[in-house]
Amino acid sequence: MASSSSSSSSITSFVFPFLFLFLLLSPSSNADSLKACNFDGIYQLGDSISDTGNLIRENPNTPFSHLPYGQTFFNSTPTGRCSNGLLIIDYFALDARLPLVNPYLNKDALTRHGINFAVAGSTALSSELLSKKKISSLLTNSSLDLQLDWMFSHFNSICYDQKDCDEKLKNALFLVGEIGANDYNYALLQGKTIEEVKEMVPEVVQAIKNAVERVISYGATRVVVSGNFPIGCFPISLTVFQTNNTTDYDEYDEYHCLKSLNALASYHNDQIKQVIEVLKKENLHTVIVYGDYYNAFLWILRRASMLGFDNGSLQKSCCGIGGDYNFDLKRTCGNNGVGVCPNPDKVISWDGVHLTQKAYKYIADWLILNISPKLNCTL
């Protein structure tokens, strides 16, 4: 048996690096911080923007399970995060002075400070509903309704009754989304027109509204409901839907983003904001806040050079190959022969679909400053 001094030394050597990273990555102390709420847990629903390891437990063969994913922060041990490092949810946890939130399907992980139910590739609508629209869910069938069932099962296992759950969850932060983008992306990639996809928006938004109502029924008192990114700015969209004239002002905006796809995202976001207002009136004792991913992303795009990003690579993938945007749908990041840029911190897009750790850090900072005052917490 090891001596107590050697055991203590081992524990210190294990804990110190994580403590150092915690201090290094946490935003500086100020009133506009999640720590003002004194949250004791975070519960996340969503897709690849938030997944910290559920998909790779469903499918260990996904590219997200190996390098170069996770190379910046996690070195040789990728966790299933769809980036080179940390995600928005990770920076939220750090800002709230909580441990990083473990994935639900990691049954060995600690769940005392919340659980992440998000699954990369998931949709707001069930795979059955999408199938009726002749749309295939490409990566997973763990849609929003299944994630909510997981959440219910978890709370059912830790709560004696509703009163006990209310007590346990009164100081937790619930994050619903971002989700819904995959419903639209899959539809577009499988040949649906913008107008056909636009007809899906009310149904997708209703599914998200139902999800918020369910988490409130479980005992949530503070909920952030996030909208979609400007998907017309991403390398995957710019590549797949590229026009013959890439300077056409009818098709592209001043940031060289596709207007039609950003209009679709804005339409979705406007409906999400309307739903939030309805939910607020129906749930007077619950704080519900909009997470504005769209404007957080545009804030980075407008100030890219000041934030240290390379203006020549703003809409190119760091991990990718070929074409105007360093992206090929048939040869994506993680596949043989697909390279990685020398400095991901200079690039916004990691793999054409997801962002780099640095971009997520700035988006998280923007969101925290935006939502913290609305959560009605005090230091």
- pTM of this prediction? 0.90
Q: Are 292 and 227 in contact (CB under 8 A)?
A: yes
Given the residues 33, 48, 237, 317, the one annotated as active site:
48
In the predicted model, is pLDDT for residue 24 greater than 50? no
Q: Are 315 and 299 in contact (CB under 8 A)?
A: no
Residue 227's pLDDT is what? 98
Q: How many CB atoms lie within 10 A of CB 245?
A: 10
Q: Is 354 one of the annotated active-site residues of the chain?
A: yes
pLDDT confidence of 359, banded at 50, 70, 90? Answer: very high
Residue 12's pLDDT is what? 37
Q: Are 310 and 347 in contact (CB under 8 A)?
A: yes
Token digits for 117?
Answer: 């139910």
Mean pLDDT of the 116-140 span: 95
Given the residues 183, 328, 345, 351, the one annotated as active site:
351
For each of the domains in the chain, give its residue range(s) and CATH number, in order of start. 31-308+357-375 (3.40.50)
Q: Which residues of 323-347 are buried (b: 16+ CB within 10 A; e: fewer)?
A: bebbbbeeebbbeeebebbeebbbb
Given the residues 50, 313, 354, 372, the one annotated as active site:
354
Token digits for 203?
Answer: 């149904």
Q: How many helices (H) and strands (E) does the chain have?
A: 13, 7
Token digits for 161?
Answer: 């009754």
In the predicted model, is pLDDT for residue 228 greater than 80? yes
List, for residues 242-254, the tens digit of each pLDDT value.
876 656 668 899 9
Q: How many CB atoms lie within 10 A of CB 175?
A: 26
Mean pLDDT of the 14-23 span: 42
| 327: nearest Cα among 257, 252, 236 | 236
DSSP symbol at 116: E
Tell me which of 312 and 20 has the higher pLDDT. Answer: 312
pLDDT confidence of 5, banded at 50, 70, 90? Answer: very low
Q: Is 292 one of the annotated active-site residues of the chain?
A: no
List, for residues 289-301, the tens digit of each pLDDT value.
999 999 999 999 9
Q: Are 379 and 31 in contact (CB under 8 A)?
A: yes
List, for residues 344-354, the tens digit of each pLDDT value.
999 999 999 99
Q: Is 48 one of the annotated active-site residues of the chain?
A: yes
